[in-house]
Amino acid sequence: MLANKGPMKLFLPFVRTPLNLLKYATERSPAAPVLKEFREAMQKGGMARDQAVARVSMGSGLAALATAWALDGRLSGSGPTDPREREALRNTGWQPFSVKVGDRWYSYQRIDPFARILSTAADFATFGEYMTDEERQNIGTSLALAIARNVSTMPTLDPAASAFEALSDPDRYLGRYAKNLAASAAVPNIVTQTNSALDPYMRETDTLMDTIKSRVPGLSDEIPPRMNLWGDPIERGNAAGPDILSPVWVSEERKDPVMNEVRRLDVRLSKPDRIIGRQRMSADQYARFVYMAGRPAKDMIGRMMGEEGWSRMPDGARRITIRRIVETFREQAKRQLLLAEPDLMAAYEDQRARRRSGER
């Protein structure tokens, strides 16, 4: 009754379909006994019982196979929640909700309802790696965590999740949500999909007009590409087949020595702050800043890795060295940007003056 009244009507379409898919997957997993329909079928006996058991057997077999693939590094689930760890992983070519074949990751997240079984199994295996032996024996705990993680990261729940996120923390998310909502209203979905097929890069948007342009073929090129912390443009990913029609996205594993070393050492680096002297950089300013800071830092780390002393250096010293190089080049890039942008320099000097006078 409540779902059909007031604001809940707005969220119902986003929730009903994915929950039905989740129910389908649960019927075919070891968690099936939590469903009322499964318990009733078992009590009824006969064909109903046989069908219920067959569904669990089929899904459990697939889940067991998926868990083995995940432990072998050939299947991914939702991935790390830490943004720094997630970016380091993505920089190697990894992508979430995908299966690895050769040197490529093929997404399966649109192939529901079986995607729920695969992703839950992958997250189940991931949670197990971080648990003690006692916790690992409690399979129910790992399974509950995996299911909860999968529900929260369902692609079909993204619209509702974004709305709830904006309502729960308006200072942080409402502006972005409003821009995306306005851009969606201004640009038809078919145009956005066409642009996604034609434009190979994600775009660094700031204003509403930037967001609209980033969705229109021919105009998205006017917006600077979004970059990773090394100054490399972030690609959207390729589709297996015609881009607009294909539900499978492909990402190729990157044989980049620096990115792989940072990932191996678990050096959790984040992109530089976008605020200088209380002033937010424009999309173009920020793209230049990230490029000027990231490219030379990556080159320097690569040169050091090629020297003989790197192989004799312990991992702890390598982590410290990488962090220091990144911080040094960010300071250099910051000075270069301030000299080239009078508005940012004025905001930066004003902030320094406030600090000297004891103001914040």
pLDDT interval class at 231 (50, 70, 90): very high
Kindly state the percentage of the chain with pLDDT values over 90: 20
Report d(CA 185, CA 163) in Å as an integer. Answer: 15
Report d(CA 108, CA 225) in Å as an integer. Answer: 26
Report d(CA 287, CA 23) in Å as an integer. Answer: 43
CA dihedral 51, 70, 99, 97 (to 10 degrees): 80
Q: What is the pLDDT of residue 20?
A: 59
C-alpha pair distances (Å), 274 with each of 172, 278, 322? 14, 10, 21
**For residue 90, which of 282, 263, 305 has the smallest C-alpha distance?**
263
Q: What is the pLDDT of residue 37?
A: 74
pLDDT interval class at 2 (50, 70, 90): very low
CA dihedral 9, 120, 255, 326 (to 10 degrees): 60
Report d(CA 37, CA 23) in Å as an integer. Answer: 10
pLDDT interval class at 206 (50, 70, 90): confident
Q: What is the pLDDT of residue 304?
A: 95
- What secondary structure does DSSP assign to 158-170, as a single string? HHHHHHHHHHH-H
Domain spans of the chain?
16-162+237-255, 169-235, 272-356
Mean pLDDT of 30-39: 67
> Which segments of the chain does DSSP mark as H helices, in order?
8-27, 36-44, 46-71, 83-90, 114-129, 133-137, 139-152, 158-168, 170-186, 189-198, 208-213, 257-265, 283-305, 308-312, 315-340, 342-356
pLDDT at 140 over 80: no
How wide is the angle at C-alpha 347 spanned by C-alphas 341 and 349, nearest 5°? Answer: 100
Mean pLDDT of 45-71: 75
Q: What is the pLDDT of residue 210?
A: 84
330 in Cβ contact with 272 (< 8 Å):
yes
- Count, residues in the chain: 360
- 145-149, 185-189, 285-289: range with highest mean pLDDT: 285-289
* 131, two tokens: 């648990």
pTM of the shown model: 0.67
